[in-house]
Structure 1
Amino acid sequence: MSFSQGFGNSNPFSGGIFGSGSGSSSNDDAGSGGSGGSGGGESGRSQGGRRRPSALIITIVIIAALLGAFVAFSGFYAEILWYSQLGYSEVFWTEWVARGVIFVAAFLLMGLLVWLSLFFAFRTRPKNIEGQLADSVSKYQSTLTSMRRLLMFGLPVLMGLFAGTAAQANWQQVLLFINQQPFGQTDPEFGRDFAFYVFTLPFLNFVNGFLISAVLVAGIAGILCHYLFGSIRIEASGRFVVEKAARWHVAIAVAAFILLQGVSWFLGRFATLQDQSGNWAGALYTDVNAVIPAQTILAIAAVLVAIVLIITAITARWRFAIIGTAVLIVTAIIGTGVVPFLVQEYQVRPTEQTLEAEYIERNMELTRFAYDLEDLEKISYSATQEAEAGALADDAANIENIRLLDPNLVSAAYRQFQQFRPYYTFPETLSFDRYEIDGQRYDTVIAAREVNAPEGSWVNQHLIYTHGYGLVAANANTVTPEGRPDFTLQGIPTTGDLASDEDYEPRIYFGEAVPQYSIVGAPEGAAPRELDRPAVELTEDEEGEAEAAEADDNGQDDTQYTFSGDGGPSVGNMFNRLVFALNFQSPEIFLSGDMNEESQILYDRHPRERVEKVAPYLEVDQNIYPAIVDGRIKWIVEGYTTSNNFPYSTEQQLESATVDALTQGGPQQLTGQINYIRNSVKATVDAYDGSVELYAWDDEDPILQAWQEVFPQAIQPMEEMSAELLDHVRYPEDMFRIQRSLLTEYHVDSPGTFYEGNDAWSIPSDPTRDGGEPQPPYYMTLEMPEQEEPSFSLTSAFIPATEADGQQRNVLYGFLAASGDAGTGEDGVRHEDYGRLRLLELPRQTSIPGPGQTQANFDSHQTIAQQLNVLDDLGGSEVHRGNMITMPAGGGILNVQPIYVQATTGSAYPALRMVLVGFGEEVGYGDTLQEALDMVFEGDAGVEAVEGAGVDAEAVEDDLDGVEGTTEDEATEPSPAPTETEEAAAPEDDEEDEDDDAPVAEDDQERLEQLRGEAAELWADRNEAFSEGDLARYRQLELEFEETLDELFQLENSLND
């Protein structure tokens, strides 16, 4: 039977699949016969003799299906309410409509192709098969014909569901293709706009891949059906028989597959520019001169072979089709495998540097463009190691902003002095920003005092403990005389130089540590129920703590509050309560009598999560931070548009590129691969009502422009940003991490140098940790060489890459700073210097110590090591090395590290105790930054550090009881010398040696305590002499201090032996 005969003269729906024509089995008509009449069968059976399902089972199945449908609907409906309340319904419906349309299209296409293939194979089956196979074929046909409705409809539907589910996941790719925007630049090989590679090529590959899958599935289903019904068979004689209809079917399916494979080869020509498998990204010499021509030939050959297959279907001569297909396969193997291998091995490898130079240069240029590095400003910096007096006279701006408060260490101090209640908490790593006080800008360590709901009843967790209260901030460059944070924003209610409760809304319903959901709101005049804050004024001073304790005793410790914003979907009606009870698997939401018509449910409360939901096309930075903006606490979130399809750009693994000592193993760390990124969106999340604002930060980014076409109402122009918000914008951390990772190789300009790799850099390991993770980038206000004024910058150092033998020199080769100041004092006007990347390149012949070498210099310095050991021994305390700050100053590189001491017992918090400074090989130390600087620069650094940049020795002594866990007398007062009687009573050394476990002699222990006291006293006297400018007395006390420490450690070692 021919193809036309199979579909031609008769209605295809009159028999075969749908009707009871020649293809139907006798069982199909059984239902019309039987006993007939009105009572011919048993009540529980059908007329055909099969048992009917009982009414109870049918009812249970229907109820279960309805319940399952309602549970699924509840999640969908909850999302509708969430997006609607937030004002982003456009995002929700656009995504779901796009997913739905793609699903339906893929479902119909796959299902239709499979159905047509099965339909044609079934309709053209041979009616009569003679010979020994007739009986077995008849059995197959009889069995399969009785199941034809299930197979003809079930299989296409199943394949369609699989196809639709897989295809709808590509909704972003489809929308970007439809709304694509030009880059305005073309690739160097084919001259196509970059938009073709970012938007068009991924879409074409997706469509072509889907069609190949559909043709394969439909073809296999049809061929299998032909075989089962005898159109393709092997007869008893061994003869292979293919009926004419089956021949047509197979030929068309194979031709379609080969044509689509030809399209793959044609598109593969462009995909070579995205290839990451070579030594450098993009199409290299072998690709351009061997692979791309071969793929062009294969694409043409595929068309010719497909034509031959169609001719074969007509002529029934398979020889040419088989030969053509074999030639195509061999050509593919030779053209894309053998020839490129030979070219690479025998033409490229002997002169690789010369032949690849052009393509390496393409990779360098387009990688820099893709990662926004093309405007990198390089500065040659001849760093000196000579620490001369007055060297820092021109660096006052840098010195006054040196951060001594390490946001990665002082969280415990914030908890100790500003938490006040166990139901509050602070994050382990605090945020870094800058604020203006009385016309002067200060780098600031800032944190949100968030709620930490105690374990307990559902009411407590979701109705009572609903929000945190206020921000806490301290200057980064100063501390109190005792070494504590110098708070500029503190207490409850908020007070301080930076702001007060009257200046901003302090309540925090949306943050990093809030409960999964809270139910808030009440009618006007109703008694408030949410726990708000302690009733008395609380600060860090002892008087405030005493007042708080007295208030606790009187039962008047907390006030209540009612949320008055619009922060979540309403649960004021029974239907919504049922929906969210199912959604959160919490029956209390539905059953609780504490609900009212004004109740709202707040959920998805993490700022990062909220931005990801309203902007699903963005990668979101793992670091967010709070800021006081226009009278509100705003969480500022960085959003990135990315692609992995940019031509000639080197791919980055986000997980490895963004990892450092702080982000290692973090739950928010970015994952995946990219080779293009822009910080295209700045987002804010209101800490009170959760409202999200998206601003187009890089409106020249074509990917962002495409998404603005998709969601025209979702993203506001940058000009809508207030001046105060712009003042708190900073350079994004993950973007910087990725860029510095690229710059370890892409800082060079010459393709030859890049090829040789002899000037590769690496990011130094964090010297304050033992894990070897990369040092994190640090924010600081900094004035780089050739920069007109200081800017709030993100910085990182570079050292040489590890050599082939595994050795690595820890000397500084480069220093990168990204300017993060965006504010100009005007709404919607961004500072022109924002985002400028400046790279200091140091001479290779010098040996400026890197962070690791500087740490080694500190640790090996005799006096510093001894003092740190003394601090470690004070009443069970431990030393913490703060962030190693590196910066250009004094014509060289200055390194500063704060040293903290924290008790191991009691109310333990880290307090600043010492400041270390390194310049070249010179090392300085002191209670204050000024002392350490002057020690390095011959007694006069040439600059005055800010007041409070260090501790006061007397205040530290008074504070030892609170920090080190010992009393002042125990730590600083010398013990009395042993009397002659005590000396005589002391055991002899030989007696001690007889038993290693013998107790320490009392006179030795007393002498040990005496030496510790003398060391502390000499340290205080030494600092006093330095502050008074009495350098002669200072040096004398320094020598006495070192001699005392030597004796102290000798005695300690002898006692420990």
Structure 2
Amino acid sequence: MKSIKQKIGIIFIGLGLLIILSFNKLITLITDLIWFDSIGYQQVLLTRISTKLLIFIPLAIVLTLLFRHFFKHLYMYHYSKINQEEIPFNTNKIKKWLTYGSVLLGIFLSSVMSNLLWLDFLKFINRFSFGIQDPVYSLDISFYVFVLPFFKAALFIVLILLTLMVIFSLLIEILLFRGSYSRDFYVDFFRQSAHLISGIFLAFAGIFFTRIFDLLYSARGVAFGASYTDTHVTLWALLLYSILALVSALLIWIAHKKASFKLMSIGPIALIGCWVVLSLSGFVVQKLVVEPDEITKETQYIEHNIAYTQIAYNLNAVDLIEFPYEENLTLDTINANNETIKNIRINDSRPLLQTFNQIQSIRLYYNFNNIDIDRYMINDEYTQVFITARELDQYKLDNKAMTWINQYLKYTHGYGIVMAPVNKVTNEGQPELLFKNIPPTTNTDLTITRPEIYFGEQNESYIIVNTDEKEFDYPSGSDNVETTYSADTGIKLTGFNKFLFSIKEGSLKLLVSNNIQKDSRIILKRNILDRVKSIAPFLSYDSNPYIVVNQDDGKLYWIIDAYTTTRYYPYSQSYSFEEQGINYIRNSVKVVIDAYDGSTDFYIFDEEDPIIKTYASIFNGLFKSKAELPVGLDAHIRYPQDYFDLQANVYQKYHVNNPVVFYNGEDIWDLATEKYMDNVQTIQSNYVMFKIDEKAEFALILPYTPKGKPNMTSLLVARNDGEHYGEVFLYRFPKNKTVQGPIMIESRIDQDSVISPQFTLWGQQGSSVLRGNVIVVPIENSLLYVEPIYIQSDNADSLPEMKRVIIAYGDKIVMEQNLKLGLEKLFGSNSQPSQENDTVSELLNQIQSQFDETQRKLDDLKKTIDLLEQQINP
């Protein structure tokens, strides 16, 4: 009876230790289940957990039995050789500890393996075909993306397990022989480990065979992918290695039976010898056969690399459009493209962000994280705008106000947005605001019905709503307006939930606070990127989420672009994206998050992508069709800059289809450069509105120049509007004409006899001249270049002011106070004072423009006189 009680006690002690050791993981698992259920995605987490268990449970049983058998075999073999008097434990205790060790080792390794294999396993069994075969083995690309990674991982795990067992055997032999490495030591070790070593060579046979397919990612040749030497030497060498590894496994097994070291060594020695000879052969073939006639030998492989790289980055869909560049713009042409002209950006997001944070943050604890560009129908006009969300940064609260109640119950959300047109500034050089202040005010027909921002880019901590403590809503004069959260988002803090989440968040106050009542809810993962990565970590996410005012319901939403990627696309060149190497990408998903209630929806925007089809098959209910996108949001879907920039980077080299031209590097492009602020930089992609078919469209552009030259050779364009969303094309400029690149415009600015001295003058008067982006605007068959100029005082609290706009066209370049004056100087005015049909409004506008220009010249004259006086009377 005492023995039974002891066993029961040991079982309870073991269970207690297991619970203690896994307590944090258990709490995390339970709270994750509750959270996923609260947002409607519990099935996503259950799929992940059930798959891990499906792998873990049988693997744990198999590994436990395997290790138990292995340790038992070792023990039984060595038992007769051990001096029994030297063993401090009796035989039964040793057997028990071996059993416990086998169980623990089996559980640990199974846990690690299930975490490594679960997603690869699901992709393997749910895979969709790409409908494209590789050019060497004629296998569907899905084999490389979904099948091969799973088998390679499985082979690697088998190799690790067998190697561990061999190491255990070796350690036991070393302990038994106590450093005496005689022939008996090696014979004993070989007898016990021969079957394991044989298994290792079987695993190596599989690894060598899978490396045959890895040749399609080879970097040996002049282009990425299998080269001439890879297909004519390395491929056959790997096949031979695989066969020799199989033979080695068989010979080791036979040698074990005959206790023959010579027989055991034949296979490994032959394998090593072949590796030396064939590696040398590969080097000789590369140097003596391929390199003297490289272009002939590698042509077909270069063609493979070009074709599959273009497909992998969706560059095969880029349309080429010849742009018949002319310098024939007139006043009539400008008037005919009024929608383009009135949406030319004369402001810049980076100085604008500083301005917004000073003039519109209202309170210290509000912050604008970044500024995005979008387009809206405003007062029946298609208008390009800057837009940013006013988020609440709790860490900017006064130190005395950083109480637990203020952080988690009181200051819970940001409020409203700021919006400004891209083409207008005030006389002081500050942006004209379409949306401003708290509560948001506007003189447009846009409305915001729900300005509170509970979910955003800066919301790192949890909050608790519906408590006895009213939430701070927004400041109103010297008072504060308070509110109560009205959505049913979050998890009720009743019963056991309160205990669980107090442990999860490490907060005793959450457990004991009297402010928390029966209807109180905890809201988690309010940072939108953290939120989507928690739900779908297998996707990659854009670095720039953007806020949208839905003109249909007046609510604020965040939109995040999500990507499917892989590094296993054969023959496709690898590039860095989001700090990882990839060679295939699709912008397959748009994620929409309600800024108030946090509801998160994943919409598939590329239904042809096999990877997203596979994920949709795995995670039933996670993805929705783009047809289900809420009404009003479709007008704000953007072609993402991260994706476009990567494509543009790849296209610098892979716009070439001719393998000889590609080999010689004759037609490589550079991304254009510009002077930005006070540095020269690679130009960034820009959202620009211009007429593409019959009307102005919101497009993303990036100019190219020939390698090492400043002139512009082409313009890459991605369309964003309506049914044309996602179409990418290239305006290719004539080779017999010089089309100015942005840096050429910058050089002309520096050399202009009017503009350059003015910059120098401003810079000598306690101010800095800051240069914005050069915006290239296609108009008809011509190009207009626009660059905003900022003046910022050297005072620490000064704001950058947009004071001038530089416009370049053809061989003309002007700098004026605004775009209208600059265009009038280049192309003439629409109206003259002497015309009888001038309206009063037009005349007043003209008078105002002339007055502003006169005032500017008087200001400049005064500054010059002051400078002269300083020189005369220092």
- CA shift in 2, pair 1:314/1:794, >3 Å: same
Quote the offset at 1:290 in angstroms: 0.9
Cα deviation, 1:773-795, whole Å, max 9, x if unaligned, reads 533211122234xx444321111
Q: Work out whether residues 616 and 622 of structure 2, in 8 Å CA contact, stay in contact via their aligned partners in 1.
A: yes
Q: Which residue matches 1:272?
A: 215
In structure 1, which of residues 827, 830, 837 is the aligned counterpart of residue 728 of structure 2? 837
Aligned residue type for 1:90: Q
Q: Work out whether residues 368 and 389 of structure 2, in 8 Å CA contact, stay in contact via their aligned partners in 1.
A: yes
Tell me, in whole angstroms, the C-alpha distance in 2 between the residues paired with 1:63 and 1:104.
21
Q: Give 1:870-889 correspondences, 5 Å limit.
A: 870-872=761-763, 876-889=766-779
Q: Which residue matches 1:285?
A: 228
Q: Which runs of 5+ in 1 are unaligned?
A: 1-30, 33-46, 48-54, 129-135, 536-547, 655-669, 802-807, 823-830, 959-1015, 1023-1040
In structure 1, which of residues 810, 814, 821 is the aligned counterpart of residue 714 of structure 2? 814
Q: Which residue matches 1:217?
A: 164
Q: Which residue matches 2:353?
A: 411
Q: Which runs of 5+ in 2 are unaligned?
A: 833-840
Quote the offset at 1:625 in angstroms: 0.6
- CA shift in 2, pair 1:84/1:322, >3 Å: same
- CA shift in 2, pair 1:241/1:857, >3 Å: closer
Q: Which residue matches 2:836?
A: none
The answer to whether residue 278 in structure 2 is matched with residue 356 in structure 1 is no
Aligned residue type for 1:914: R
Tell me, in whole angstroms, the C-alpha distance in 1 between the residues paired with 2:209 and 2:287.
25
Tell me, in whole angstroms, the C-alpha distance in 2 between the residues paired with 1:124 and 1:68.
35
- CA shift in 2, pair 1:241/1:186, >3 Å: closer
- CA shift in 2, pair 1:816/1:381, >3 Å: same
Secondary structure of the residue that 1:793 maps to in structure 2? strand
Larger radius of gyration: 1
In structure 1, which of residues 590, 597, 613 is the aligned counterpart of residue 534 of structure 2? 613
Tell me, in whole angstroms, the C-alpha distance in 1 between the residues paired with 2:865 and 2:738.
35
Q: Work out whether residues 222 and 663 of structure 2, in 8 Å CA contact, stay in contact via their aligned partners in 1.
A: no
- CA shift in 2, pair 1:798/1:121, >3 Å: same
Secondary structure of the residue that 1:917 maps to in structure 2? strand
Cα deviation, 1:137-172, whole Å, max 9, x if unaligned, reads 777777896755435642663375146325513322
Quote the offset at 1:796 in angstroms: 1.0
Quote the offset at 1:59 in angstroms: 13
Q: Work out whether residues 719 and 725 of structure 2, in 8 Å CA contact, stay in contact via their aligned partners in 1.
A: yes
In structure 2, which of residues 266, 291, 295 is the aligned counterpart of residue 323 of structure 1? 266
Secondary structure of the residue that 2:206 maps to in structure 1? helix
Quote the offset at 1:444 in angstroms: 1.1
Q: Which residue matches 1:901?
A: 791
Q: Which residue matches 1:690?
A: 598
The answer to whether residue 420 in structure 2 is matched with residue 474 in structure 1 is yes
RMSD of aligned residue pairs (Cα, Å): 3.6
Aligned residue type for 2:506: Q
> TM-score, normalised on structure 2?
0.89
- CA shift in 2, pair 1:151/1:231, >3 Å: farther
Moved more, 755-764 or 882-891: 882-891
Q: Work out whether residues 177 and 185 of structure 2, in 8 Å CA contact, stay in contact via their aligned partners in 1.
A: no
The answer to whether residue 432 in structure 2 is matched with residue 486 in structure 1 is yes
Q: Which residue matches 1:1012?
A: none
Secondary structure of the residue that 1:189 maps to in structure 2? coil
In structure 2, which of residues 352, 366, 377 is the aligned counterpart of residue 436 of structure 1? 377
Q: Which residue matches 2:36?
A: 83
Quote the offset at 1:725 in angstroms: 1.2
Tell me, in whole angstroms, the C-alpha distance in 1 between the residues paired with 2:38 and 2:76.
55
Q: Which residue matches 1:709?
A: 617
- CA shift in 2, pair 1:234/1:484, >3 Å: closer
- CA shift in 2, pair 1:941/1:772, >3 Å: farther
Tell me, in whole angstroms, the C-alpha distance in 1 between the residues paired with 2:846 and 2:334.
23
Quote the offset at 1:227 in angstroms: 5.9
Q: Give 1:672-687 correspondences, 5 Å limit.
A: 672-687=580-595
Moved more, 876-885 or 392-401: 392-401
Q: Work out whether residues 678 and 771 of structure 2, in 8 Å CA contact, stay in contact via their aligned partners in 1.
A: no
In structure 2, which of residues 390, 396, 399 is the aligned counterpart of residue 449 of structure 1? 390
- CA shift in 2, pair 1:598/1:957, >3 Å: farther
Tell me, in whole angstroms, the C-alpha distance in 2 between the residues paired with 1:240 and 1:171.
41
Quote the offset at 1:314 in angstroms: 2.8
Cα deviation, 1:562-616, whole Å, max 9, x if unaligned, reads 001022212244x323322222223221222111111112231121221111111
Tell me, in whole angstroms, the C-alpha distance in 2 between the residues paired with 1:1051 and 1:689.
63
Cα deviation, 1:230-261, whole Å, max 9, x if unaligned, reads 799865xx667736xx6554332222111111
Q: Give 1:469-618 correspondences, 5 Å limit.
A: 469-499=415-445, 503-514=448-459, 516-522=461-467, 529-535=470-476, 548=477, 552=478, 557-573=479-495, 575-618=496-539
Tell me, in whole angstroms, the C-alpha distance in 2 between the residues paired with 1:450 and 1:282.
47
Quote the offset at 1:178 in angstroms: 1.6
Secondary structure of the residue that 1:170 maps to in structure 2? helix
Aligned residue type for 2:391: E
Q: Which residue matches 2:812?
A: 922
Q: Which residue matches 1:95?
A: 48
Q: Give 1:41-56 correspondences, 5 Å limit.
A: none
What is the aligned residue count? 850
Q: Work out whether residues 927 and 953 of structure 1, in 8 Å CA contact, stay in contact via their aligned partners in 2.
A: no
Moved more, 926-935 or 185-194: 926-935
In structure 1, which of residues 775, 793, 798 is the aligned counterpart of residue 683 of structure 2? 775
Quote the offset at 1:560 in angstroms: 1.1
Q: Which residue matches 1:639?
A: 562
Quote the offset at 1:451 in angstroms: 2.0
Quote the offset at 1:622 in angstroms: 0.5
Tell me, in whole angstroms, the C-alpha distance in 2 between the residues paired with 1:63 and 1:148.
23
Aligned residue type for 2:452: R
Moved more, 144-153 or 417-426: 144-153
- CA shift in 2, pair 1:170/1:460, >3 Å: same
In structure 1, which of residues 852, 867, 874 is the aligned counterpart of residue 743 of structure 2? 852
The answer to whether residue 117 in structure 2 is matched with residue 170 in structure 1 is yes
Secondary structure of the residue that 2:247 maps to in structure 1? helix
Tell me, in whole angstroms, the C-alpha distance in 2 between the residues paired with 1:461 and 1:122.
61
Tell me, in whole angstroms, the C-alpha distance in 2 between the residues paired with 1:486 and 1:956.
21
Secondary structure of the residue that 1:443 maps to in structure 2? strand
Q: Which residue matches 1:197?
A: 144
Secondary structure of the residue that 1:617 maps to in structure 2? coil
Tell me, in whole angstroms, the C-alpha distance in 1 between the residues paired with 2:574 and 2:60.
34
Aligned residue type for 1:752: V
Tell me, in whole angstroms, the C-alpha distance in 1 between the residues paired with 2:312 and 2:440.
45
Tell me, in whole angstroms, the C-alpha distance in 1 between the residues paired with 2:871 and 2:117.
68
Q: Which residue matches 1:424?
A: 366
Q: Which residue matches 1:671?
A: 579
Q: Which residue matches 1:339?
A: 281
Cα deviation, 1:650-701, whole Å, max 9, x if unaligned, reads 11112xxxxxxxxxxxxxxx21111111111111110001110111111111
Q: Which residue matches 2:835?
A: none
Q: Work out whether residues 689 and 696 of structure 2, in 8 Å CA contact, stay in contact via their aligned partners in 1.
A: yes
- CA shift in 2, pair 1:821/1:371, >3 Å: same
- CA shift in 2, pair 1:748/1:225, >3 Å: same
Secondary structure of the residue that 1:908 maps to in structure 2? coil
Name the % identity.
Answer: 28
Quote the offset at 1:387 in angstroms: 7.4
Tell me, in whole angstroms, the C-alpha distance in 1 between the residues paired with 2:661 and 2:733.
17
Tell me, in whole angstroms, the C-alpha distance in 2 between the residues paired with 1:462 and 1:347.
71
- CA shift in 2, pair 1:769/1:752, >3 Å: farther
The answer to whether residue 699 in structure 2 is matched with residue 793 in structure 1 is yes
Cα deviation, 1:483-539, whole Å, max 9, x if unaligned, reads 3322222333333244565x52111111123351221115xxx7x71111244xxxx
- CA shift in 2, pair 1:125/1:413, >3 Å: closer
Q: Which residue matches 1:538?
A: none
Aligned residue type for 1:700: E
Quote the offset at 1:811 in angstroms: 2.3
Q: Which residue matches 2:838?
A: none
> TM-score, normalised on structure 1?
0.74
The answer to whether residue 247 in structure 2 is matched with residue 299 in structure 1 is no
